[in-house]
Structure 1
Amino acid sequence: MASLVAALPVQAAETAPATRVDLRALEWSPCQDIAPVGDETLECATLTVPMARGDDAGSGRDATVDLALSRVPATGTAEHTLLVNPGGPGSAGRMWAAHTHRRMSEELREVYDVVSFDPRGVGASTPAAACDPDYFTPVRPDTVPAGAEEEAALLDRAEAHAQACADHGGPVLRHMRTEDTAHDMDAIRAALGEERIDYLGYSYGTYLGTVYSALYPERVRALVLDSVVDPDNPWYESNHVQSRALDRAAGTFFSWVARHEDAYGLGGTPEEVADAYYRLRERLGTEPAGGTVGPTELEGVVIVVAYSGRTWPTVASALSAQVNDDDPTALTGLHETYGDDADSDNGYAGYLAVQCTDSHWPKDWDTWRSDTEDVHEDAPFMAWHNTWYNAPCATWSAPADDWFGIGDGPDEHPAYTGDALVVHATGDGATPVEGAHSLHRRLPGSALVIEDGGRTHGVALTGNPCVDEAVSAYLLRGELPAAGPGADLVCEAGPEPRPREAQSDPAPGLQRVGPFGLDRASDSADMVE
């Protein structure tokens, strides 16, 4: 393993940029289009990188991408730079420098510049990915097909969207694999003048960090990977695994609502609450709430309960008002907050461009149907929703490549062997905890911190003292928890929310720019991912 890792710089050289990266000092200036979240100094800059590299360049050797970056400087003398990615894929990331800085302890703020960026094709980075801004116009077709005719219509819709992406997405859609963004990260590191970088990745950002550390092991100083995408599961398999985890998380939410029947009146057992939810879902198929929230829009709202327990009181109140009082106000308001709309086109295009080309997808629709029906039978909460969200990959125009696997196998890449910290909550519904154990086994120098009973997708620097102290000790002093059986450190989760509790700081990341990201709530008072 050591000799293979030592050979990786040669591998990186073989994928050298087709055009020269602009490595002049970044010109930081006050941001014009994003604002600080507090009194921090927030600066922005742009870095030009090749659109295509190495053998992938082809006729587009001279095409470039302008990456939009942000930075919050250290409050004292900067000793390190922390590069942050919130996941996605398809999530704009620039605001995460400000969000991360705000959550840090003063000791961390004093010595860390925090940098984040909009990945290629996404947000303020240009050229921007695009497909069809009308795709999410309500009321959309029900994701659960009633029969063959409805299924065929949904499949036609997915194929048409894939074609719209091919027609309007531009050449960048062919160059948005995770490896492309990993190479961009190293260009950012070089432009910052850093020999080695510290990295904090949430959700899909854990896979991005895993790939980066495999490609550039000598460029990593610290690696924090939180809410892990299982590196053993390519995206098609990963989405079916996620659908089962989302269903388990919904069951936890239904149980909580049942314990507070006096507040919500949706049933006194988890089964009764689930029945109330699915009956509402069926009714919205013929009577959309407020004329805009049908079954599919409802799913886009309630999926947030699998990302954070902090959303439970708000979502439960909205369901209660609709079921018991026929009042759609709260539900339509949540759809406006969490649901997809025309502004989601760029994020969804970015999501598909990564997922559809990172690994191979079945081309035979019978395989999709059979696998989804198997999942739906046991886990109906989001099985079909997840399938249709990814269905454009079945006819995606850009070629897919092999999954960037990590390990000792003949088709795998040697794993990063340096120190790393893996963090995960046991009740995370977006990325099942098994993925954290998988990655921990793959990274021989890693320590695993588990938040037992945690219900949040994205744990580090969110207020659990046990977790945050472990993260700080690692970043500041390189100290990892002592090795233990299974997890190296187990931290108890905080108490579950109280009914109808006001949400002043909802969980990071609740908006559907990608199931593997934290961009849904961006952790401000917008309310919640």
Structure 2
Amino acid sequence: MKRQRIIGQSSALAFVLGISASLAAPPAVADDPQASKVRWGTCPEDVVAAAAPTELQCATVPVPVDYTDPEGTAIDLMLSRLASTNPDKRRGSLMLNPGGPGGSGLALPALLVARGLPADVLDSYDLIGMDTRGIGHSAPVTCGFTPDGPYTANIPPYAVDDAAVTARAKVAKQVAEQCERNDRNGLLRQLTTANTARDLDRIRAALGEEKTSYLGYSYGTALGAAYASMFPERSDRIVLDSNIGDTHLDRDGLRRYALGMEQSLPDFAKWAAARHDSYGLGRTPEQVRKTYFTLAERLDKAPVAGFDGSLLRQYTFSQLFKKMQYPKLAQQWQTLAGGDDTAARRLPTQNGTAGKAPSSIDNPLAVFAAVTCNDVEWPKNVDTYRHGVANDRERYPLFGAAAANITPCAFWPYAPAEPPVAVNDDGPRNVLLVQNLRDAPTPHDGGKMLRQKFADRSRLLSVDDTGHGAYVLGDNACALNTTTRYLVEGKMPGKDMLCRAG
């Protein structure tokens, strides 16, 4: 049986590391091009299928590969649109990003409609989805990753000891070299948050908008923060949901995944304890937590159906993203605890299928590695990760030895072309930060960090809930109402506020 994989949708977040000297930096902002009329037409078949029954329109907008050479090679970015049908209420475009980096956003307008995006928002905006540079239908990049290879997830495997970090370093080096070999057109090195923010401004101009509004989730908050910082006067109403804490994912950001899991697992443990008679994972939350450690350590020594302790830890982390996934997680623990290989093989993977085509993991993994590695310099010394793993194994025993482990960016062949985008607190008060109190990949600290950096430009809407994604993707009425009111009426909370549970 092929080793099962954990590859999240908007949540796939990996470890990134350092580079050396800088290249010539692109301009801080993209020059406003002549606004071209976007020609909307039929979307590709896969987008049509993913969006059904909602019907979207698609188009392409050209952008330069390298903003230091704006007249050089260009690539086409594919956009999708769900247009407002109420011209009296329409106020502009709302650009969307699902996160990643590496997540396709072309079907996101339809997903939000399916999840109940309020009609007032649909009236107020044309919803603009997109595949950002390097993703899907927008000049996709490749590293040649396959399901049978050693690199099938963005998050490093849990390192049980120093030797495991050393072993993973060899894989990380091979992966970085593999990406360099596959970067035949030089696009991989141009995948950065800053360049993608410049792309957003090209798209804004092509749409004929003086300003654009934006809704981004997870890594999409880093992209939105970068856009609002680089183009403050062209940013309209900005909503950043499930914040990673900056305009890029750095080593500290990845290590916060472990903090997020510590804060999120108690919600699952309480849920499972109340259902002990069905799943047998423990009668109290404390017993459920103990079951996790006991099962992980047992699988470290004797995997079941290819499921080892590292994979259990990653699987558990990913299933904490949504409360609706709790039954699936409990079933997985129960089956693995029984040690029945045949029963374990019948269980679905995270994405609900027993196998994935190579292309379905290659592109998102390649984009994630490129953006995170190109954005910021990370430590290169393997000992740095050994120490980090040892420390975080103690600090955050659930997942610390995974989130602190080494990734391909320690050996990335390209230096950052420019410093990461600095958050700009000099601009309009137009950034609403939305953050669940308990969120595995983006703990509440990320929202507080970005609130401090944006200062009076922002307000923080904290939500007493668990899971990844609060606006529309969650079920808190206060979070929904407050965010909708801002998008539709422009009413930003006068101060930071807490939405209570329920």
TM bucket (normalised to shorter chain) is: 0.7 to 0.9
Match of 1:158 among 172, 180, 183: 172
Alignment partners' CA distance in 2, 1:147 and 1:423:
37
Change in CA separation of 1:422 and 1:144 when aligned onto 2, cut-off 3 Å? closer
Q: Which moved more, 1:264-273 or 1:202-211?
A: 264-273
Which of 78, 103, 106 is 2:119 aligned to? Answer: 106
- Structure 2 Cα separation of the partners of residues 199 and 110 of structure 1: 15
May I ask how many residue pairs the two structures share in their alignment? 465
Does residue 493 in structure 1 map to residue 493 in structure 2? no
- Residues 169 and 282 of structure 1: is their aligned pair in 2 closer, same or farther, counting only changes over 3 Å? farther
Contact 2:425–2:453, Cα closer than 8 Å, also in 1: no
Cα offset, 1:185, TM superposition: 0.5
The answer to whether 1:449 aligns with 2:461 is yes
Q: Cα 1:142–1:24, aligned 2, differ >3 Å: closer, same or farther?
A: closer
Contact 1:297/1:335 (<8 A) preserved: no
Alignment correspondent of 1:382 = 399
Name the stretch that deviates more: 122-131 or 143-152.
Answer: 143-152
Q: Letter of the 1:24 partner, please give it.
A: S
Partner of 2:4: none
Alpha carbons of 1:335 and 1:458: their partners in 2 closer, same or farther (altered >3 Å)? Answer: closer
Shift of residue 136, structure 1, vs aligned partner: 5.2
Superposed displacement of residue 106, structure 1: 1.6
1:393-434 CA-partner distances (Å, limit 9, x unpaired): 10100112433232xxxxxx4544332211111111211112
Partner residue, 1:213: 228
Partner of 1:503: none
Equivalence for 2:250: 235
TM-score by length of 1: 0.80
Query: Which residue of the other structure, out of 126, 130, 138, is the alignment partner of 2:143?
Result: 130
> What do you get for the CA RMSD once the two structures are aligned?
2.9
Letter in 2 for 1:438: M
Name the CA distance, whole Å, in 1 between partners of 2:361 and 2:426.
34
From 68, 74, 82, the equivalent of 1:72 is 82
Matched, 1:299 2:313: yes
Deviation per residue, 1:126-185 (Å, 9 max, x gap): 042334224357899993445555433221111101110111134111111110100000
Q: Is the 8 A contact 1:75 1:111 kept in 2?
A: no
Superposition deviation, residue 14 in structure 1? 5.8
1:234, 1:147 → 2: CA distance?
A: 25
C-alpha change, 1:13 and 1:295, in structure 2 (3 Å) is closer
The DSSP-based 3-state class of the residue aligned with 2:96 is strand
Q: Secondary structure of 2:253's match?
A: helix
Q: State the distance in 1 between where 2:249 and 2:349 align.
A: 32
1:475 corresponds in structure 2 to 487
Q: Aligned residue for 2:469?
A: 458
Does residue 1:393 correspond to 2:409, yes or no? yes
Q: CA deviation at 1:219?
A: 0.9
Distance 1:138 1:82 in 2: 33
Q: Distance in 1 between matches of 2:267 and 2:275?
A: 13
Q: Distance in 2 between matches of 1:267 and 1:14?
A: 55
Q: 2:382 aligns with which of 346, 361, 365?
A: 365
Q: What are the within-5 Å matches in structure 2 for residues 414-433 of structure 1?
A: 414-433=425-444
**2:271 — aligned with what?**
256
Q: Deviations over 1:313-336 (max 9, x none)?
A: 221122113324736348731345
Match of 1:511 in 2: none
Contact 1:244–1:375 under 8 Å retained in 2: no
* Superposition deviation, residue 465 in structure 1: 2.1
- For 2:333 and 2:167, locate their aligned partners in 1 and report how far apart those are by CA, in whole Å: 29
Specify the code of the residue in structure 2 equivalent to 1:215.
M
1: distance between equivalents of 2:383 and 2:339?
Answer: 42
Structure of higher RCO (CA pairs closer than 8 Å, 6+ residues apart): 2
**Counterpart amino acid of 2:72?**
D
For each residue in 1:92-111, what CA deviation from the matched residue of structure 2 results, as whole angstroms up to 9, or x when unmatched? 11111211234321222223
Deviates more, 1:434-443 or 1:280-289: 280-289
Q: Deviations over 1:291-326 (max 9, x none)?
A: x43333333322223312221122112211332473
1-side partners of 2:155 and 2:222: how far apart? 32
Please give the per-residue CA displacement for 1:459-506, whole angstroms capped at 9, x wherever unaligned. 0123422111111211111112232xxx33x22233xxxxxxxxxxxx
The letter of the residue matching 2:123 is E
249 and 141 in structure 1: CA distance in 2 versus 1, 3 angstrom threshold: closer
Give the whole-Å Cα distance in 1 for the aligned partners of 2:346 and 2:183: 33
